[in-house]
Amino acid sequence: MKRRTFLQSSAALAAVPLLRNTPPGAALALGASQAPLRVNGARLNGWLAKFDSVGRTPTGINRVGYSDADLAGRAFTLDLFREAGLNPRIDTAGNILGRLDGTDRSLKPILIGSHVDSVTDGGNFDGPVGSFGAIEVARSLREQNVRLRHPLEVVVWTNEEGGTVGSRSAIGHITPADLDKVARSGKTIREGIGLVGGNVAKLSEAERKKGDLACYMELHIEQGGLLEKAGLQIGVVEGIVGLRWFEVTITGFANHAGTTPMDQRQDAMLAAAKFAVAVNEAVRGVPGRTVATIGRMVVSPNTTNVIPGQVVLTVDLRDLDAAKITHFTDRFAQIGQEIGTATKTTFDIKQSVDTAPAISDPKVMAWIDGAAAALGFTRQRMPSGAGHDAQEMSRIAPMAMIFVPSVGGISHSPKEFTKPEDVVNGADVLLNAVIAADRAST
């Protein structure tokens, strides 16, 4: 179907009313005089409600990658692919993929999706909202007789919570050492991939190369409380923050707590406490969204009547801006040196993890923004503090994400909840962003 026919067939849908609070002219972002399409929201929420019983235990949702509950979740998901006419296949990494052909064979696929595995004692919304949302988008397009020029591929990545295993495989970033790691289910990733229908011996067949895709979009719950607090409906994700972990070893001198005068101590715990305060103040003193956390401290000898001789602590540093991450890496080293001098201790800082920020593509963000505007949704641009499959896809394709509010900002918890209307809003934005991407990209 050519572009003109597409417009004709979609003209029948122009009767779909715009929301009353749609700003004048906002629909232009999607294309002249076309009202936005809608997914079948009741159906989508029905799937989510049914899925809530898969892997549900007294302590939460337990669909950890490669577990029996994960397999049951994938079987449930495969049925949804089939019912949507998506003719699913499982790639060699174990990802589930379905496809709607486009009208122009020369165009690259638009890829949308998320994951259906969970953390231990997690909730039912982290992953399934975006996975089922993507299936619903494809099904709605078919039912509403809208044919895209591009192929539309729907993906459900395997074992996202175990370290974005499926999406990393799809960009060729899985090493043999990764495959030998033991997943939360107790199986190695190598065993797990086989179990879900993949084939580790042919893992490279699952790879997508840079430039293979028109774009990647992922709908996801926010997993934080910014949208709810601001009273906004949609988050347009500017990128997924980069992450650095440091292990800091502070060495002083263990000595008697009763006989050592206060001015003659080399107290590693005191130095650690000063460091914790200084790191917090340094980050808060610079405008922006940098976050730094000292989450673990091991004190030795950890005894009531001995001045601590050594403390090993960790720092978790995140920002969307790589320059800020570099800045604070240097700043923390400087702070350590200053506190070391003041407390007669030494600081040894080692970097253990370093993940670069994944920046969203401005075009893809504009399609999402335009779709949300046409639907009359309030929204803001924001970073994602949590990791997602989208961060891997950003290495090979223009990427952006759609966030919907998490009630109370709670996630990775059985209390995780996103209101049904917000789920539908997110899927509606995804649907119209796909259409915008189809029109705009080559």
Binding interface with Zn ion (CB under 5 A): 126-127
State which residue, 116 or 250, has the beta carbon closest to Zn ion. 116
**What minimum distance in Å lies between the beta carbon of 221 and Zn ion?**
8
State which residue, 127 or 166, has the beta carbon closest to Zn ion. 127
- Residue 327 has a CB neighbour count (10 Å cut-off) of 15
State which residue, 126 or 319, has the beta carbon closest to Zn ion. 126
**What minimum distance in Å lies between the beta carbon of 204 and Zn ion?**
26
State which residue, 126 or 267, has the beta carbon closest to Zn ion. 126
State which residue, 55 or 127, has the beta carbon closest to Zn ion. 127
**What minimum distance in Å lies between the beta carbon of 84 and Zn ion?**
21
**What minimum distance in Å lies between the beta carbon of 346 and Zn ion?**
40
State which residue, 147 or 220, has the beta carbon closest to Zn ion. 220
Mention every residue, 6+ apart, whose C-beta is less than 8 A from residue 436: 29, 30, 31, 367, 370, 371
**What minimum distance in Å lies between the beta carbon of 220 and Zn ion?**
6
State which residue, 44 or 401, has the beta carbon closest to Zn ion. 401
**What minimum distance in Å lies between the beta carbon of 161 and Zn ion?**
7
**What minimum distance in Å lies between the beta carbon of 267 and Zn ion?**
42
**What minimum distance in Å lies between the beta carbon of 119 and Zn ion?**
9
Q: Are 361 and 322 in contact (CB under 8 A)?
A: no
State which residue, 126 or 238, has the beta carbon closest to Zn ion. 126
